[in-house]
Structure 1
Amino acid sequence: MLVQLARQQDAGIFRDAHSALAKAFLTSRMREVVAWRREISGGNGIVLDYDIARFFADAEAIYSFEGTREMNTLIVGKAITGQSAFV
């Protein structure tokens, strides 16, 4: 995705909605993957000897910090429909 975004930027066809869509999608997948890893690790997924809990906390912060996911979805929605849902 990042390579494609870089190509679009080089070609001059890059829009903010492209990066918003990539970030919304990738943060959702990241959250899902670290949740699987924590679940697979069982009790080791929450102890400090392994970095799984730290990754889990980082993923949650990136996913939800100041409404990041919601803002990115609103940006993509406006690009698709032309209608702003911002209040």
Structure 2
Amino acid sequence: MSKSGIQTTARASAGNGGAHSPVQIELSEEDKSKDAFFVQLAGIAEAMIAKHGKDFAMGTLVLTARFIAEDKPLTKPAASHS
């Protein structure tokens, strides 16, 4: 099982009367990268829940998803000090 709690093994028939034994599946580099981002996101979500509650955390994540879907910027550009 990975850090994010996603099981990375599969079940396969071992030819022993239908019993199943775990078979290791190697994650691709892309899957490892996605898993690492999920772990980071989970940590942020847990921190938001602890400090501000589930409603805030869910609202923030949904709003972020909406901004991504609508191609809106997620951060404001830094102010120029010229």
| TM-score higher than 0.5 | no
TM-score, length of structure 2 as denominator length: 0.34
Q: Which has the higher contact order (CA 8 A, sep 6+)?
A: 1
| Higher share of residues assigned helix | 1
**Structure of larger gyration radius:** 2
Q: TM-score, normalised by structure 1?
A: 0.32
